Amino acid sequence: MALATFFSRILGLVREQFIAYLFGASGLTDAFLVAYRIPNLLRDLFAEGAFSSAFVPTFVEANQKDPESAKKLFWSLFILLGMITLVCSGVTIYFTPEIINIFAPTFINDPHKFETTVLLTRIMAPFLFFVSIAALFMGVLNSLKIFFIPSFAPAFFNVTTIICMIVLPPFLIKYGYEPILSLAIGVIVGGLVQALVQFPLIIKNGYGPTRPSKIFSKETKKVLTLLGPGLIGFAATQINLIINTILASSTVIGAVSWLSFAFRLFQLPVGILSVSIGNSNLVHFSNAWKKGDKEEAIESLSSSFFLSCALVFPAMIGLIVFSEEIVNIIFQRGKFDAESTLMTAKALRLYALGLPFYSIYKIFVPTFYAIDRQRIPVICSILGIIFNIVFCMSLTDKYGFEVLALGTTLSIFLNVLIQGNILTSDLNIKLTLFFNLRFLKLILSGTVTSVIVLFIRDQFEFITFSFLERCLLVFFYLSSIVISYFSLCVILGERALIKRVFSKFKR
């Protein structure tokens, strides 16, 4: 699953490189990112986040009792989810100007930018339907212990978007349209492809189309009940990003793009490591919990927690210490200049501070769903959102767009802190199951590693090297982090954990 997600995220990064090269951190790029943010928010509500966490435990339970009942549940939800997302897409298309006024109020001062954002939003609105169906297919396949193809499906989305960016601009220019529209078209076609590539596996495993006897069955109602409050719980990240978008659009031109590019780099380890481990934990924890094996469920939770932390700490160090070098290598070309590199690196450092908390968040939230305590993530998310709004609105005018990245990190920290205390109480375990001597060993290894790599970085004048030499130097930097960090973990007595980390990659 991590391997498939890795390829998908790398291709996502390549897509961002094309965007940076072709459009830079310009006003039109800001327009696309604001427009894309709208269906992306709804995607987190109806697709990969809340829906998966509500659907997977219920589907697993139904499948253990009666596979035919699980099949009918799947197609009932297919119909319901399709109807809801199509209605939401229609509402978005109809009220697009009003929505843009909320998301980016200052865009109205630039009529061309505003009109382009409206058109981009309308083109991409149906993306919600396609990506929600893709998430439903992924939930079914993951429940059946099929992980690779569903996790690889977003790679097809990224490839499709890249092809559209390369092929369509000449035709769009010929007919008087902005080339940036090629991105929106790529999003729509890519969403469709992401769903279609999973469908053959659905049929192969005996879950092909069927007519459900009842749309609102007992299991369907249970999923919808879980989904209701989960819409808020899993929307925390996207709502924080929306707040960032509104505030960033009122600062300087390019701020929305800088934050977006930084968040894309930040999401690379989140997607490859945290999401993969979180989704895997959801399936295994749910199986053990539904069977009544509490000890196995807690062991799965604890194991996922430490495995995730062991993997994200070195990633966090790399993103913080070598932020400028990484942004320079990946984005600085074409219309993406040196100033954009510096601004993106500033945001990346502050986002990266929250990497461990995002990792834990991706494990804790699905766990609450599996034990039917979905209201807890809702409450925690609301508190995090309120904190982020107050923090960002108070400081953005004075300190600039960087505050928006820091606010996102602090809000997820608060969210996880509250969740951890409640989860330990619900499972009747101690907080020391997570935050103990083992956790301190990982922190110590990370701290010492940071000192080592900072010393190594100071020995080179990065900007004086050629592009190829800079690539090799960044590879050397990141290799130094991995070697130093895992060596220190072994020295401190965490040989078994590190052996498990590498056995996962070997497998």
Per-residue pLDDT of 218-234, as tens digits, reads 777 777 776 666 566 55
Per-residue model confidence (pLDDT) at position 350: 94
| pLDDT at 279 > cutoff 90 | no
Give the pLDDT of residue 220: 78
| Confidence at residue 252, expressed as pLDDT on a 0 to 100 scale | 80
Span 91-106, mean pLDDT? 89
Compute the mean pLDDT over every residue in the chain, rounded to the nearest whole number.
Answer: 84
Q: Where are the beta strands (DSSP E) in 396-446?
A: none
**Max avg pLDDT among 76-80, 295-299, 478-482:** 478-482
* 293 vs 178, more confident: 178
Average pLDDT over residues 3-22: 81
Q: How confident is the model at residue 44 (pLDDT cuts 50, 70, 90)?
A: low
- At 37 the pLDDT is 80
* Residue 354 backbone phi and psi in degrees, to 5: -90, 5
This prediction's pTM: 0.71
Query: Average pLDDT of 327-338?
Result: 87
Return the pLDDT at 61.
Answer: 79
- Who contacts 50 (Cβ-Cβ below 8 Å, separation ≥6)? 44, 227, 230, 231, 233, 234, 235
Residue found under tokens 């990946």: 330
In the chain, what percentage of residues exceed pLDDT 70?
A: 90
The whole-number pLDDT of residue 50 equals 63
Per-residue pLDDT tens digits for 151-185: 888 889 999 999 999 999 999 998 888 899 999 99
- Tell me the per-residue pLDDT of 361-384, one tens digit each, with 9 for 90 and over: 888 887 887 787 878 887 888 888
**Residues 31 and 117 sit within 8 Å (Cβ to Cβ):** yes
Residue 240 near residue 37 (C-beta atoms within 8 A): no
In the prediction, which pLDDT does 281 show? 62
Half-sphere exposure of 114 (CA within 13 A, CB side): 14
